[in-house]
């Protein structure tokens, strides 16, 4: 059974193109923010981005934020860190996670888009399913707010130069692909 503070029926809902565009913007800017978080941790610790990526792996972004916050605290940068990655960003990430990973339940009587989201209970080995609801315009609004944070981080961490340097690197074939070609195997088809 699903509960809400005021109660509501759930009605069938289909995303409009405008809402889907807002969700796409939100997911894209959150991916860039996650990249900026990796760069921050790399620069703050003096560990290469590649090693930081290996160490944190598929860690949820909420845990990455806690790790980066601990790093910021050790560097006496916690206030600056919180100014970038504060409560507003947390709400943005909840919206992004609901849209990207949640199950669409429908639209409430109030017009909110409702998602069922499984979340871990902090400090325990259990999870709980909660319902998160958002106004249709929230996806785009959160994307705009997250883009503002990303702009600040771009300036602070010189991310545009880093992204440009990444684009200048060639995409070399993987060594296993080279061995397959040398053995006479046909090359794999290009991605669709």
pLDDT tens track for 106-137? 999 999 999 999 887 777 888 888 899 999 99
Number of domains the chain contains: 1
**What predicted TM-score, i.e. pTM, was given to this entire model?**
0.77
Q: Assess if residue 117 is contained within a domain.
A: no
Distance between CA atoms of 6 and 32, rounded to whole angstroms?
A: 36
Q: Is 109 helix (H, G, I), strand (E, B) or coil?
A: coil
Higher-pLDDT residue of 34 and 184 is 34
For the cut 80, the answer to whether the pLDDT of residue 34 exceeds it is: yes
For the cut 90, the answer to whether the pLDDT of residue 105 exceeds it is: yes
Cβ atoms of 26 and 146 within 8 Å: the answer is yes
For the cut 70, the answer to whether the pLDDT of residue 29 exceeds it is: yes
Q: Assess if residue 174 is contained within a domain.
A: no
Which residues does residue 107 pair with via DSSP β-bridges, in sequence order?
11, 113
Distance between CA atoms of 131 and 168, rounded to whole angstroms?
A: 43
Q: What's residue 2's pLDDT?
A: 58
Domain that includes residue 37, residue range: 14-102+137-169
Arithmetic mean of pLDDT, 132-157: 89
């Amino acid at each position: 059974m699903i509960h809400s503070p005021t109660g509501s029926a759930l009605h069938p809902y289909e995303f409009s193109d405008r809402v889907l565009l807002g969700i796409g913007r939100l997911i894209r800017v959150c991916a860039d923010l996650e990249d900026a978080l990796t760069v921050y941790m790399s620069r703050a610790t003096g560990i290469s981005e590649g090693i930081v990526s290996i160490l944190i792996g598929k860690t949820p972004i909420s845990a990455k934020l806690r790790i980066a916050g601990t790093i910021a605290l050790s560097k006496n940068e916690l206030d600056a860190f919180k100014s970038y990655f504060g409560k507003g960003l947390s709400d943005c990430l909840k919206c992004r996670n609901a849209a990207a990973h949640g199950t669409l339940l429908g639209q409430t009587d109030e017009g909110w888009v409702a998602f069922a989201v499984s979340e871990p209970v902090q400090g325990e080995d259990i999870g709980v399913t909660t319902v998160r609801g958002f106004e249709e315009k929230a996806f785009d609004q959160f994307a705009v707010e997250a883009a503002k944070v990303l702009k600040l981080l771009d300036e602070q961490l010189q991310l545009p130069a880093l992204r440009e340097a990444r684009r200048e690197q060639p995409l070399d074939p993987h060594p296993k692909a080279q061995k397959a070609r040398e053995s006479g195997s046909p090359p794999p088809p290009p991605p669709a």
